Amino acid sequence: MCVFSGPVRNVSNTRIFVTELKSGDQFTVYQNAVAFAANSKRVAMILPFPNPNGTITAYSQIMWNMSEYKNFFKHCNDLFPMPVTKGISSRSTARSKSSVLEPLPIFQCGAYEYSVVSNFDEFSALNFAQFNLEPKSISLLTLLKRYYGTGYGFLVCIYTQEGEIPPIAFIHPKLPNGKLFVPTMHDHHGNETSNALANWSHEIYILNNATFLYSHGTMQLINPTSLNAEIEYRASLSGRWNELEKVFDYTKLPPGFPTHVTTAANATTPDNCSAIARLQIEGFQKNGDLAFISSLDFASCYEKHECTFRVTSTTSAYQPLFACENCFPPRRPGEADLGCFCSVCVGKCEQANHKIRQLKPGSGGFCDTPFVK
């Protein structure tokens, strides 16, 4: 989400990077180009993040200093020297409401000052003047409560220096379902969420992605401002899955930043390419946030011998999938399979000497075990 404390003339060229760290937390990097209104004060940004268990508190210093890594997104783009289409189809505990809240601390991180609002009810303790926010901004607070009233925290930050604005980077939990959260909802000082459409100008990078992507396709939004909200995207997959250490400057990134891609068990090289994805979303489309499956979650399924449906639900993901003619009898030649199993669940078919075959590498799907009677 892109929320500003004051009026801006235009916001464009938004770039967002998300990945999962070894700790299991999410690392998000956010940057955009903002044209400020004439004679305006400094404008703060508010970025929501998942905080389902309240592990992030007002005293958590979650920002990562990117002042010396202003070309981070250039390095992200370097992973995509040319489109790779192989494998893509064309198609802390919250405080009591009744307690008197102490003022939230303000931290310094490079060129930014910021506070952490660990849940919506803590906004009353934010230093509104420091971030040029109106204390009784009814439209802003109504918006935040409507979409992020439960299970979310907020990073409130303001740029304090002149010159090129470095990316905003911070570490936070993933969504409760394990997916990576991408804050893309628009609200430029109350000017966008009241409308059905928002003006997108986004480039999104996902490292260790497992969500199945088309070269051109549509994706369901989370926290949408309208029902049945989908957006159109264009996607590229990088073939440089084994060159991360050649591209990124790891001395300027947090511990646990991936040094290699992680894929589902028995994945082939085309699937490895899926782990580095770039989405481009442009024009007037529906408004909301996005979420992606992290391929690191598949590893936990295999270690615990759990069905991967726990990670994917009914979202198609890159993973090895197997058809079983005993459990899902084929229809006529040339027709699609009626169902499939993940690498964990197909083990039962192997033990029963069923007739199984692996589906084409690079295809996407989810395990149908929950639907087998």
Over residues 154-185, the pLDDT tens digits come to 999 998 766 668 899 999 999 998 899 999 98
User: Does residue 83 lie in a domain region?
Assistant: yes
Domain final residue, candidates 270, 301, 332: 301
The model's pTM: 0.86
In sign, the C-alpha dihedral spanning 214, 220, 221, 222 is negative
78 and 126, same structural domain? yes
186-243 pLDDT tens trace: 875 544 444 568 889 999 999 999 888 888 899 999 988 877 789 999 999 887 878 8
Collect contacts of 191-197 with beta carbons under 8 A, ≥24 apart: 192/287, 193/143, 193/225, 193/287, 195/287, 196/225, 196/226, 196/286, 196/287, 197/284, 197/285, 197/286, 197/287
336 and 288, same structural domain? no
**pLDDT averaged over the chain?**
83
274 and 138, same structural domain? yes
pLDDT at residue 142 greater than cutoff 70? yes
Mean pLDDT confidence for 131-152: 81
267-283 pLDDT tens trace: 544 455 578 899 999 99
CA distance 292 to 76: 18
Domain final residue, candidates 301, 335, 359: 301
Domain final residue, candidates 267, 301, 335: 301
Number of structural domains the chain divides into: 2
pLDDT at site 270: 47
325: left (phi over 0), alpha (psi -120 to 50) or beta: alpha
272 and 148, same structural domain? yes
247 and 185, same structural domain? yes
CA distance 283 to 216: 15
What is the span of the domain harbouring residue 340? Answer: 320-371
Strand partners, 114: 107, 157
91 and 31, same structural domain? yes
363 and 233, same structural domain? no
Do the beta carbons of residue 287 and residue 225 sit within 8 Å? yes
Do the beta carbons of residue 75 and residue 247 sit within 8 Å? yes
272-312 pLDDT tens trace: 557 889 999 999 999 999 999 998 888 788 888 899 998 88
User: Does residue 284 lie in a domain region?
Assistant: yes
From 342, 309, 310, select the one nearest 327 (Cα to Cα): 342
217 and 277, same structural domain? yes
User: Does residue 307 lie in a domain region?
Assistant: no
